[in-house]
Structure 1
Amino acid sequence: MSDRHADNRVLPATRWVAIAIVPFLVVAAALLFGFPDRTGELFAWPIAVPLSAFLLASAYVGGIRFFVGVARARRWHHVKHGFPAVVVFAGALLVATLLHLDRFSQNLSFVVWMALYLTTPFAVAILAVAQNPRDPRTPDSVDAAIPGRWRYGLAAIGGAAFVFGAIVFVAPGFAMSFWAWPLTPLTAQVTGAVLSLTGVVNAGLLWDDRWSAFRTLFQAQLLSLVAIAVSVIARRDDLLWDRPMTVAFLVLVAGALVVYAVFTLRCEAIARRAAASLALR
């Protein structure tokens, strides 16, 4: 695509796919948060430990914020770095589903689940490929350049989360032996998929320093982290306190909340200073 097509436009197909996905995420999050003890009946498969249901619902909360942002985005680069993460996450859940079909309920929720995960990773990947050349790779008129120490630090944190999530996904039996709450092979792989999200999103920081390209994504990640923190408090009885991973998980969630919040506030402050400077010209 030539430079004249690098108009930063969000294509109508991209908006409509985002709009179509949001209601499914809302319903799934509501079912998992509201009825964790009835997942076998109401959701796609029975989840024995409610905290596993809450963890997946927390990822969906972040997804709701992201896809609402896609539907409302004025510029493609505002949301582009979230698309690879969706492809990896949805693709991992598709693989986990196909590996554990015997665990799923034969109900409407499972039909919807299969329809979504058989299509979403491929549709989102196609849209990302079609959209990507439209990014002119220039900042917004009022923007913030993310400091290098933050970019590389958060990329390293995300990389570690991705590697750890990949290990949990590939070796669910191993993860079951040390995780902070009881897992099954299926919920272990779902947990690995959730952990992968931040790694794929943060990888974009290695080559893109525009805060405008990450504002929506970090808002989504912060919402997801808050949901995870609340879930852990609400379902603290599900935790296995005799395992070292339990304390480590709690520390990591709390630390991530602080780091992401400070980073977001820092970048917003830089953007406000840029806006004030522009207004004085």
Structure 2
Amino acid sequence: MAADSGTAGRAGATDRILRYTKWVALIIIPFLVVAWVLLYLLPGNTEQLFAWTIAPPLTAMFLASAYLGGIVFFVNVLRPNKWHHVRYGFPAVLVFATLLSIATFLHWDRFHHGHISFIVWVTLYVVTPFLVLGVLIVNRGQDPGVPDERDYALPLVVRIVLAAIGLCAFVAGLFLFFSPAQTIAVWGWPLTPLTARVAGAVLTLPGTVNVWMLWDARWSAFRWVFQAQLASLVFIVAALAIRRDDMLWDRPSAMLFVGGMVFSLVAYVAFYLWCDSRARALAATAEPL
């Protein structure tokens, strides 16, 4: 039985992921995999291996956790899937990639010029915003605005709460990005103006996803993107545990950040499992006896 999506059906929409979109995912995934390996598994070697030196290693692992979420997301784009299952992840990728592109040129002197990783980094963040913008343009009108056959309509109060949580993360991310000097003094681990902007870009991701819940109640429209967010959260929490000595525990923001990440992980897991169970229950009641 289809759940009420809260959106109107659109005539002529095929809800398929176009070939261009899959090619974009196929191009981006290898770069994300390499970056994740370098930053999460070898976070202390960025001076030799990466486009710029990232210190402390916790910041490298924090960025790598976002890349892992990107891997999960783009793999779901490559799977046999529907456009409305993944569409809300692309605005988040667009904002994230654009902010990192801006940060690169604002801190041009901090990069390892001539290093292969620098060339790849610059190429990726100059090109990716345009590739992702192209995805949003070519897929415009592909979502029919109707739920899957087995779907669940998210309650309005739940959508408002998640959108509010996402908005808080988004605002915090923008503050980090546009006012790095003010946040460096109070952040939970050491930052530079460049790493503050990078951390801010990472924090914009959940907000850019969750805000769409105010207009779309379909669980199917967020399930696959939430898988990516969950993957990121798991590795962020693990990084905070592994690199706990990088934290400035005398600052209240350190414990607040750790507590917020742990709470978010638990809440997101519970939310994901609850929505999946409700979707299965609705599907079971629709089965003929």
Judge conservation of contact 2:85–2:221 (CA < 8 Å) in 1. yes
Specify the alignment match of 1:253 in structure 2. Answer: 261
Distance in 1 (alpha carbons) for counterparts of 2:153 and 2:12: 25
Residue 33 of structure 2 is aligned to residue 26 of structure 1: yes
Letter of the structure 2 residue corresponding to residue 58 of structure 1: S
Corresponding letter in the other structure for 1:212: S
Q: Does 1:236 align with 2:240?
A: no
Structure 1 residues without counterparts, runs of 5 or longer: none
2:202 is matched with 194
CA offsets 1:12-54 (integer angstroms, 9 cap, x no match): 0101110111111010000001211211211110012000000
> What is the aligned partner in structure 2 of residue 101 from structure 1?
108
Q: Is the 8 A contact 2:53 2:111 kept in 1?
A: yes
Alignment partner of 1:160 out of 142, 165, 168: 168
SS at 1:133's partner residue? coil
Amino acid at match of 2:185: S
* Root mean square deviation of aligned Cα: 1.2
Higher helix proportion (structure 1 or 2) = 1
Aligned equivalents of 1:73, 1:216: Cα separation in 2: 12
For residue 73 of structure 1, report the CA deviation from its aligned partner.
4.3
2:282 is aligned with 1:270: no
Q: What letter is aligned with 1:147?
A: P
Candidates 110, 120, 123, aligned match of 1:112: 120
Q: Is the 8 A contact 2:11 2:144 kept in 1?
A: no
1:4 to partner: Cα distance? 5.0
Taking the aligned partners of 2:220 and 2:11, their CA distance within structure 1 comes to 22
TM-score (norm 1): 0.97
Q: Which residue in 1 is equivalent to 2:79?
A: 72
Work out the CA distance in 2 between the residues paired with 1:160 and 1:34. 30
- Figure out how many residues of one structure are paired with residues of the other and give that number: 280
Q: Deviations over 1:229-258 (max 9, x none)?
A: 000000000000110000100110011011
Rounded to whole Å, the distance in 2 between the matches of 1:157 and 1:74 is 28
Higher relative contact order (CA 8 A, sep 6+): 2
**TM-score, normalisation: structure 2:** 0.95
Amino acid in structure 2 at the alignment position of 1:18: A
Identity %: 52
Match of residue 191, structure 2, among 177, 180, 183: 183
